[in-house]
Amino acid sequence: MSTETMLFVPLLILIGGLFHIMPGLTRPDLFFAVTVAPEFRRSSAARRILGRYRAIVWIATLIASGLALAAGMAVAAVLLQAIGYLWGLVSANRAVRAYAAAPSSVLEVDLATPQERLPGGLLVAALPVLSLVALGLWVGFHWDRLPRRFPVHWGIDGADRWVNTTPATVFGFLAVQAFVCLLLAGLAWGLLNWSRRISTTGAGAAAERHFRRRIVQLSIVCEYFLACPAWFALFQPAAAAMNAWGLALAAAIVAFTVSLMRGGQGGSNATVTAGTAPVGDHTPDACWKWGLVYVNPADPSILVEKRFGIGYTLNFGNRWTWVVLALLLVAPAAGLILLR
């Protein structure tokens, strides 16, 4: 059994565990992306729907793990697990719709809501991009000090893809890295300025701001980490440095993810109120396709909270969303062309 397989199967089990607990992370009056009364989660119907979803997830996970162990078909295993998850979610969403509740019509408005800013300001968010620009300037004046080949991809055992050092590959690699960092900074800014607010006053608003700030901080931390490979590629430090970078990045993501999961979607775990009318997320159930895709041309927000899981998703009914998606495709496309 290869090292990759030995690490891959536990990863599938871990992902299955995340799928298992995901229904409990959403807001209390949303169940499988449908607005329900908060007490519905404790009903026998909810337990039956939840049990069926989890059974589908684990059956798909176990079959996928067996496929990876027996045939080493990693891609097929991932696809199988993803299909099982989607099947379980979509079937649960359809079942819960029979118990949907009308959300409260009360909307909060607070004209004194404090403005949210990037942690540390714009300069902190821009530093990784500026560092890559500085590296590009250094390269331009010290071309003779570069190695003849440099790595552009790293695996478990170290660098596993190299390219020849040419102006196109070097500056293309730096441009792609800078663009990815710029996108992460843009995501952080977008969460503060283009996302839908659900609560504007009280404990709910405070918990939501804390939750949003955690995701913004995660985006900026990842931006700093993802600026490092360009420096590693051109200066080629010891392999231990790259391993330490990978472990630190994984630890940071896990720490932020655990913090977000403990708070629940939108920080809702800290603001659960029993016996109240369901609020949901102030988006119509009808605009959520299969509980995953939000399409609402009447909603000016580009980013909205996911109804299933943790974090945010895009409003595919907003034309600016497609501009964002087009930009997200630029970096991978440029990388494939310049670093082939």
- 33, 291 in Cβ contact below 8 A? yes
**Residues, the chain:** 340
* DSSP letter string, 290-325: TTTEE--TT---SEEE-SSSSSEEEBTTSHHHHHHH
Per-block average pLDDT, block size 10, for the chain (340 residues)? 70 94 90 91 94 97 90 87 95 94 60 73 93 94 90 75 88 89 91 85 83 93 92 82 86 92 84 60 88 92 90 91 81 62
- Give the DSSP H or E segment for 151: strand 149-155
In the three-class reduction of DSSP (H, G, I as helix; E, B as strand; rest coil), residue 31 is classed as: strand
CA atoms within 13 A on the CB side of 163: 20
In the three-class reduction of DSSP (H, G, I as helix; E, B as strand; rest coil), residue 150 is classed as: strand
Whole-number pLDDT of residue 111: 45
Whole-number pLDDT of residue 323: 86
Q: How far apart are CA 34 and CA 94, in angstroms?
A: 9
User: Could you give the residue ranges of the DSSP H alpha helices within the chain?
Assistant: 3-21, 44-71, 74-96, 122-141, 167-193, 202-226, 228-235, 239-263, 319-338
Instruction: Please state, in angstroms and as integers, the Cα–Cα distance from residue 327 to each residue in 72, 83, 184, 201, 219, following that order.
Output: 35, 27, 12, 35, 17
Nearest to 174 by CA among 218, 220, 134: 134
Both structure tokens of 116: 């949210």
Q: How far apart are CA 243 and CA 91, in angstroms?
A: 41
Tens digits of residue pLDDT in 180-209: 899 899 999 999 988 888 877 777 788 889
Whole-number pLDDT of residue 81: 95
Q: What is the 3-state secondary structure (H, E, C) of 2-22?
A: CHHHHHHHHHHHHHHHHHHHH
- 291, 307 in Cβ contact below 8 A? yes
Q: Are strands 312-314 and 303-305 parallel, antiparallel or unpaired?
A: antiparallel
Count Cβ atoms below 10 Å from residue 98 Cβ, excluding itself: 9
Whole-number pLDDT of residue 62: 95
- 253, 204 in Cβ contact below 8 A? no
- 309, 15 in Cβ contact below 8 A? no
Instruction: Read off the pTM.
Output: 0.83
Q: How far apart are CA 200 and CA 223, in angstroms?
A: 29
Give the residue carrying structure tokens 């082939």.
340
Tens digits of residue pLDDT in 211-226: 999 999 999 999 999 9
